[in-house]
Amino acid sequence: MTKKERIYYTKPSISELEVEYATDAARNGWGDRCYEYINRFEQLFKQHLNVEHAIATSSCTGAMHMGLSALGIGLGDEVILADTNWIATAAPITYLGAKPVFVDILPDSWCIDPIQAEAAITSKTKAIIATHLYGNLCDMDALLAIGQKYNIPIIEDAAEAIGSVYHGKRVGSIGRFGVFSFHGTKTLTTGEGGMFVTNDNQLYETVLTLSNHGRARNQTKQFYPDIIGFKYKMSNIQAAIGCAQMERIDDLISRKREILAYYRQQLAHLSFIQINPEPENTINGAWMPTVVFDASTGIIREKLQETFLAENIDARFFFYPLSGLSMFESKLSNHNAWDIPTRAINLPSYHDMNKNAIDKIVIVIFHAIGKKI
């Protein structure tokens, strides 16, 4: 019996162009050229998002940390975010001595519920984070209206949502600032890395200073920091890979969307399965195709993952509620955030997977629910 070929849940798309640019950066990207690819990557990203400013960072977490710090968020403040998130969205809040306030998600988009977000606002609230989960889109109109009503900045966590578009605007470009991740699992990768973007000139200058150990760019004294800052810079070699990825970005996004569309097509007749939505006037960047089974099916994530692993197929758990982690206070009232992950699974979606692999995954889903395809 031959060993079943493994189907990974995700992996990067790396061409000879990435290798060429990274090699050039390694050989020649020093001295006067040490920021060459970084500057180019930021410029390409600004053009893609149609934003005024972009700062390449070593991680999306670092970009979020600096952005929150630049807004003046600190000890005793509160930041509202969805209970369904990766820890990287909440952790920077705690770095600053502020408190993450977790609210429930919507049952269809799995993104923050604007009504719950507004209800959680107090005199200590200093920001609301809108996480575009798995490429799905938050209700930005509702959130921006809340932000305007209470004079609270809306921040976009677009770590998983490059390629997603909301009413003609690319996500990350809509709120006070946006952050992106280029982890090796993402649609666009630099191995590790992130990006801070904004149209706010003053906020940009503050984050730019923070990103360079607190040294303002107009400071003429050598090695003279103006404030206490951070070290969240992206390397020139990472940015070189990012430049190559940006030159291929339309194809990278298109391929992800093709994979999600094929999953939708193959699973369309199963009324008890929900897959990543794409409401009118939006485009889902399709980073992570995800299926949520109706509670009536009795399907649980552990059984799903066990079934997938038996066929040598990777499957990823839907994020646990952050309020279910030991370091935070439990909030069982966030019903959707606690319930949906128990009957959901992320599906493989790497760029060069073929229809045969997707068909195999669909068959496994049918087996998991005891049906024949």
Instruction: State the CATH number of the domain containing residue 24.
Output: 3.40.640.10
27-40 pLDDT per residue, tens: 999 999 999 999 99
One domain, residues 349 and 302? yes
Quote the radius of gyration of the chain (alpha carbons, Å).
21
Average pLDDT, the chain: 96
Whether 118 is covered by a domain: the verdict is yes
Closest CA to 156 of 64, 88, 226, 70: 64
Closest CA to 365 of 7, 106, 84: 7
Q: What is the DSSP string of 169-213?
A: EETTSSSSEEEEE-BTTSSS--BS-EEEEES-HHHHHHHHHHTBT
Closest CA to 337 of 61, 133, 140: 133
Whether 208 is covered by a domain: the verdict is yes
Separation CA 337–CA 357 (nearest Å):
30
Whether 1 is covered by a domain: the verdict is no
One domain, residues 162 and 256? no
One domain, residues 173 and 191? yes
Please, are residues 73 and 98 in contact by the beta-carbon 8 Å criterion? Answer: yes
Whether 373 is covered by a domain: the verdict is no
Of 221, 247, 273, at which residue does a domain stop? 247
Alpha helices in 231-313 (DSSP H): 236-247, 249-267, 301-310
pLDDT computed for residue 1 by the predictor: 37
Closest CA to 136 of 308, 365, 346: 346
pLDDT computed for residue 371 by the predictor: 62
Distances (CA, A) of 165 to 36, 111, 116, 195: 29, 15, 24, 17
Q: What number is the average pLDDT over the span 238-249?
A: 98
281: left (phi over 0), alpha (psi -120 to 50) or beta: left
Q: What number is the average pLDDT over the span 85-113?
A: 98
User: Domain range spanning residue 120?
Assistant: 16-247
Distances (CA, A) of 222 to 31, 36, 218, 290: 17, 21, 11, 51
pLDDT at 216 over 50: yes
127-168 pLDDT per residue, tens: 999 999 999 999 999 999 999 999 999 999 999 999 999 999
Q: What is the DSSP string of 70-115?
A: HTT--TT-EEEEESBS-HHHHHHHHHTT-EEEEE-B-TTT-SB-HH
One domain, residues 111 and 218? yes
Of 217, 247, 277, at which residue does a domain stop? 247
- Residue type at position 7: I
Whether 2 is covered by a domain: the verdict is no
One domain, residues 240 and 364? no
One domain, residues 59 and 204? yes
Please, are residues 207 and 67 in contact by the beta-carbon 8 Å criterion? Answer: yes
One domain, residues 169 and 295? no
pLDDT computed for residue 369 by the predictor: 80
Of 247, 267, 296, at which residue does a domain stop? 247
Whether 108 is covered by a domain: the verdict is yes
Whether 313 is covered by a domain: the verdict is yes
Contacts of 277 (CB under 8 A, 6+ apart): 108, 109, 136, 284
One domain, residues 24 and 138? yes
One domain, residues 212 and 274? no
Q: What is the pTM of this model?
A: 0.96
pLDDT at 245 over 70: yes
In the sheet that holds 194-198, the strands lie side by side as 53-57, 194-198, 177-181, 154-157, 125-131, 78-82, 99-103
**What would the two tokens of residue 277 be?**
């939505």
Whether 315 is covered by a domain: the verdict is yes
Domain count, the chain: 2
pLDDT computed for residue 3 by the predictor: 63
One domain, residues 134 and 203? yes
One domain, residues 302 and 206? no
300-346 pLDDT per residue, tens: 999 899 999 999 999 899 999 999 999 999 999 999 999 999 999 99
3-state helix, strand, coil in the chain (%, to 5): 40, 15, 40
Instruction: State the CATH number of the domain containing residue 355.
Output: 3.90.1150.10
Residue appearing with tokens 């982890």: 183
One domain, residues 253 and 243? no
